[in-house]
């Protein structure tokens, strides 16, 4: 007999009729002979409704009281679903997060799961009961022995389900939702989005964090770390859905379910070069022209960064392998000759990266990497961040020293450190999915001192407030008095905390100021074949330029290219990129 964990989302439980239909579905799974643990979300939009009620009283509700309020949503659905199951003759019992033994850290609003004390669940399973557990909530052990109800963050019941599957060593975890599985993009915005039969956890982690709400990224993180077989499928139809795959064998240190060692590897890629184009015109089509001509010239570009423009001009910086420098310079100079601007290049660089799914949502990790490099006297030439990786381009001569010091700080063993890894072409598509995130704002810190430690200070002051920077871009241009600009995006919710913290910091820097950009959206293309496919970036930028969409910032990581654009163009950009990579269902 197998143990299955099934999770049903809010829409699937939006009415009594739907709850009864879900009960029928659970009953038939049970009749196939499997043991079942069912995790549920609040009914329909209940969590939003409760949040609105609180907002009618205060704009700044205490996080503890919000947890008390929001956790009631799931308590309604567990009890109703359990009643419906018992009515159908399927013996069931409901449990809140606390009763199910879901222990979290003592943080309200975004607690991580530390462990699940499964004794009670196992006893009930032994009695042949189907167990219905409230997702999205747990209990902290509290200080002084006082238990508190905690919640995991919006969308967190996926995480409850996968954590239960990991702790109970379930044979699989099935996420039932209102779409047939993971699609190439959001079907609410792009009508011909196509179902994927499978997707790697790495790709899904990026997509989920960049706006694909179908899975909570932390659920993917747990599936990837514990090897949980995770399937996303429709609540309405009996179809196969999408299976998440994880190929890599990760090495982990001991720790809680969501509190394992956040970094599980470190690598150094030598022989890198950077080309920086500055003061180039800020208009659609420039990035497209540059990266198209590079790919036509046979150059494979790695990281790309475009800084915020100042009065109608832009800086674009990219990295390539050193042996491609001459060729890349020739192509870039041709462009500069026709559009104007300056060009500079530097070889003898190395790319140091830390990786691990635990980097996600823990801003302190990137900040301690920057701090370690600063303490080692190493200047960071360029930063690229993704959900699972932070890369810094630094002077090659200091590479080995950086490797040693960073390895020590993150307590990595020799086995977890790789010099010049050889990534094999996996023949995966360059772009598998596109995501849109409208939940971000853009902030620039202008005229900050251009010396080691500046980025590290900005990140660490925000990390102290648990604020993650999603896209970090340092401008190339040196300004008067040796200053530069650093731009980044962060979640809208974190805006006031971030501004408050940053204002205090920059008051120490003469002439520095904060600037908030216009409303933005992030559109991202993700695919594990991206590092092996020349011309992907050019294709993305060209497609956006053809629609006259100006790109304000560009940031890439290995398997993703993100463009920051004006919010009003978000949906058009999503549709454009989806069509450009022919990801949709063929309508013929
Ligand atoms: P649930 O209530 O079941 O947890 P969610 O609303 O959290 O459901 O997630 C499902 C929704 O995610 C879908 O209705 C869809 O609009 C949205 N979505 C966004 N991107 C994707 C994608 N790439 N694939 C599938 N659904 C997506
Ligand atoms: N009910 C919670 C929310 O709406 C958790 C979830 O649905 O996963 O965010
Ligand atoms: Mg959800």
232 Cα–ligand 2 center, Å: 16
> Is residue 217 in contact with ligand 1, taking CB distance under 6 Å?
no
Q: What residues are paired with 232 via a beta bridge?
A: 175, 242
Same domain, 300 and 169: no
CATH number at 551 reads: 3.30.2130.10
**571: which 2 tokens?**
């949906």
| 588 in any annotated domain | no
* Closest ligand 1 atom to Cα of 216: 7
Nearest CA among 108, 96, 101 for reference residue 143: 108
Nearest CA among 444, 461, 452 for reference residue 367: 461
What's residue 253's pLDDT?
Answer: 47
Residues 6+ apart with CB under 8 A from 315: 276, 277, 278, 279, 280, 306, 307, 475, 476, 477
> Is residue 115 in contact with ligand 1, taking CB distance under 6 Å?
no
Q: Is-contact 317 350, C-beta < 8 A?
A: no
pLDDT in tens, 253-272: 456 788 777 898 999 999 99
Q: What is the mean pLDDT of residues 383-395?
A: 88
Q: Determine the residue of 6, 97, 135, 173 to mutate for testing ligand 2's pocket, defined as the one with the most ligand atoms within 8 A of the Cβ atom.
A: 135
Res 248 pLDDT > 60: no
Q: What is the mean pLDDT of residues 162-191?
A: 96
Q: What is the mean pLDDT of residues 274-298?
A: 90
Look at ligand 1, atom 15, and give the residue with the nearest C-alpha: 186
Nearest CA among 549, 459, 497, 560 for reference residue 210: 560
| 386 in any annotated domain | yes
> Is residue 97 in contact with ligand 2, taking CB distance under 6 Å?
no
> Is residue 136 in contact with ligand 2, taking CB distance under 6 Å?
yes
| 85 in any annotated domain | yes
> Is residue 160 in contact with ligand 2, taking CB distance under 6 Å?
no
Same domain, 164 and 270: no
Q: What is the mean pLDDT of residues 477-502?
A: 83
CA dist 361 and 250 (Å) reads: 19
362 Cα–ligand 1 center, Å: 24
pLDDT in tens, 2-40: 999 999 999 999 999 999 999 999 999 999 999 999 999
What's residue 432's pLDDT?
Answer: 96
Same domain, 167 and 274: no
Q: How confident is the model at residue 79 (pLDDT cuts 50, 70, 90)?
A: very high
What's residue 250's pLDDT?
Answer: 53
Q: Which domain holds residue 434?
A: 265-580
CA dist 176 and 186 (Å) reads: 16
Same domain, 150 and 269: no
What's residue 197's pLDDT?
Answer: 96
| 183 in any annotated domain | no
> Is residue 73 in contact with ligand 2, taking CB distance under 6 Å?
yes
What's residue 493's pLDDT?
Answer: 84
Same domain, 331 and 431: yes
Q: What is the mean pLDDT of residues 564-584?
A: 96
What's residue 310's pLDDT?
Answer: 62
Same domain, 431 and 545: yes
Q: How confident is the model at residue 424 (pLDDT cuts 50, 70, 90)?
A: confident
> Is residue 6 in contact with ligand 1, taking CB distance under 6 Å?
no
Same domain, 282 and 392: yes
173 Cα–ligand 3 center, Å: 15
Q: Is-contact 130 3, C-beta < 8 A?
A: no
CA dist 445 and 380 (Å) reads: 17
- With residue 314 as reference, give the H or E element that holds it: strand 313-321
Residue whose tokens read 């979640």: 491
**454: which 2 tokens?**
């500046």
> Is residue 41 in contact with ligand 2, taking CB distance under 6 Å?
yes
| 208 in any annotated domain | no
152 Cα–ligand 3 center, Å: 12
* Closest ligand 1 atom to Cα of 232: 25
42 Cα–ligand 2 center, Å: 6
CA dist 160 and 133 (Å) reads: 9
CATH number at 20 reads: 3.40.1160.10
What's residue 44's pLDDT?
Answer: 97
Specify the DSSP class assigned to residue 264. -
Q: What is the mean pLDDT of residues 475-492?
A: 77
Same domain, 283 and 163: no
Res 483 pLDDT > 70: yes
Look at ligand 2, atom 4, and give the residue with the nearest C-alpha: 47
pLDDT in tens, 189-232: 999 999 999 999 989 999 999 999 999 999 999 998 889 999 99
What's residue 252's pLDDT?
Answer: 52
pLDDT in tens, 82-102: 999 999 999 999 999 999 999
* Closest ligand 2 atom to Cα of 157: 8
**250: which 2 tokens?**
């990760």
Q: Which ligand is nearest to the CA of 177?
A: 1
179 Cα–ligand 3 center, Å: 11
What's residue 477's pLDDT?
Answer: 64
Same domain, 277 and 169: no
| 396 in any annotated domain | yes
137 Cα–ligand 2 center, Å: 10
Q: Which ligand is nearest to the CA of 41?
A: 2
Q: How many residues does the chain have?
A: 588
Q: Look at the chain and report how many structural domains it folds into.
A: 2
Same domain, 381 and 488: yes
Q: How confident is the model at residue 133 (pLDDT cuts 50, 70, 90)?
A: very high
CA dist 175 and 244 (Å) reads: 11
> What pTM was computed for the model?
0.91
| 585 in any annotated domain | no
Sheet holding 513-516, edge to edge: 471-474, 483-491, 440-449, 513-516
Q: Which ligand is nearest to the CA of 8?
A: 1
Same domain, 321 and 465: yes
> Is residue 8 in contact with ligand 2, taking CB distance under 6 Å?
no
| 180 in any annotated domain | no
Q: Which ligand is nearest to the CA of 235?
A: 1
CA dist 455 and 25 (Å) reads: 52
160 Cα–ligand 2 center, Å: 11
Choosing from 237, 254, 277, the residue where a domain stops is: 237
What's residue 46's pLDDT?
Answer: 98
What's residue 481's pLDDT?
Answer: 66
302 Cα–ligand 2 center, Å: 37
11 Cα–ligand 3 center, Å: 9
């Amino acid at each position: 007999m197998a143990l299955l964990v099934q999770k049903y989302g809010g829409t699937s439980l939006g009415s009594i009729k739907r709850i009864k239909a879900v009960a029928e579905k659970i009953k038939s799974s049970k009749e196939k002979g499997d043991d079942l643990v069912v995790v549920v979300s609040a009914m329909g939009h209940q969590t939003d409704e409760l949040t609105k009620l609180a907002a009618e009283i205060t704009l700044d509700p205490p996080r503890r009281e919000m947890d008390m309020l929001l956790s009631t949503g799931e308590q309604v659905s567990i009890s109703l679903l359990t009643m419906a199951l018992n009515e159908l003759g399927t013996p069931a019992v409901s449990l809140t997060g606390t009763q199910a033994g879901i222990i979290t850290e003592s943080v309200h609003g975004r607690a991580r799961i530390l462990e699940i004390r499964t004794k009670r669940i196992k006893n009930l399973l032994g009695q042949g009961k189907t167990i219905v557990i409230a997702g999205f909530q747990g209990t902290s052990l509290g200080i002084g022995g006082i238990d508190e109800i905690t919640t995991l963050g919006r969308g967190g019941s996926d995480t409850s389900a996968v954590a239960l599957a990991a702790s109970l060593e379930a044979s699989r975890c099935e996420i039932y939702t209102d779409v047939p599985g993971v699609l190439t993009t959001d079907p609410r915005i792009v009508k011909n989005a196509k179902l994927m039969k499978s997707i790697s956890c790495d790709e899904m982690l990026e997509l989920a964090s960049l706006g694909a709400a179908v899975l909570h990224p932390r659920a993917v993180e747990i599936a990837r770390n514990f090897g949980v077989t995770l399937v996303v499928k429709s609540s309405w139809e009996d179809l196969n859905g999408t299976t998440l795959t994880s190929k890599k064998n990760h090495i982990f240190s001991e720790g809680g379910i969501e509190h394992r060692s956040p970094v599980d590897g470190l690598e150094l890629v030598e022989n890198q070069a950077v080309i920086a184009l500055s003061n180039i015109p800020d208009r659609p089509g420039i990035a497209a022209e540059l990266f198209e001509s590079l790919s036509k010239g046979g150059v494979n570009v790695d990281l790309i960064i475009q800084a915020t423009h100042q009065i109608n001009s832009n800086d674009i910086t990219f990295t390539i392998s050193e042996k491609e420098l001459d060729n890349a310079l020739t192509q870039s100079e041709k462009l500069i000759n026709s559009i104007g601007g300056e060009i500079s290049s530097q070889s003898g660089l190395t790319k140091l990266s830390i990786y691990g799914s635990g980097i996600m949502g823990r801003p302190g990790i990137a900040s301690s990497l920057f701090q370690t490099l600063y303490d080692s006297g190493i200047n960071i030439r360029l930063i690229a961040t993704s959900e699972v990786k932070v890369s810094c381009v630094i002077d090659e001569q200091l590479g080995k020293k950086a490797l040693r010091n960073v390895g020590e700080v993150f307590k990595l063993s020799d086995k977890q450190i790789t010099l010049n890894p050889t990534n094999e072409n996996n023949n995966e598509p360059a772009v598998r999915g596109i995501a849109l995130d409208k939940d971000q704002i853009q902030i620039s810190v202008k005229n900050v001192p251009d010396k080691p430690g500046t980025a590290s200070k900005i990140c660490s002051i925000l990390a102290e407030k648990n604020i993650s920077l999603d896209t970090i871009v340092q401008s190339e241009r040196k300004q008067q008095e040796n200053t530069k600009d650093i731009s980044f995006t962060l979640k809208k919710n974190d805006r006031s905390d971030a501004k408050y913290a940053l204002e205090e910091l920059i008051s120490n820097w003469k002439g520095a100021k904060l600037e908030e950009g216009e409303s933005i959206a992030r559109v991202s293309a993700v695919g594990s074949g991206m590092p092996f496919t020349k011309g992907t970036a050019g294709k993305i930028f060209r497609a956006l330029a053809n629609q006259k969409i100006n790109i304000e910032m560009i940031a890439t990581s290995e398997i993703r290219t993100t463009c920051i654009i004006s919010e009003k163009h978000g949906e058009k950009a999503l549709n454009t990129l989806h069509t450009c990579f022919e990801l949709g269902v063929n309508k013929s």
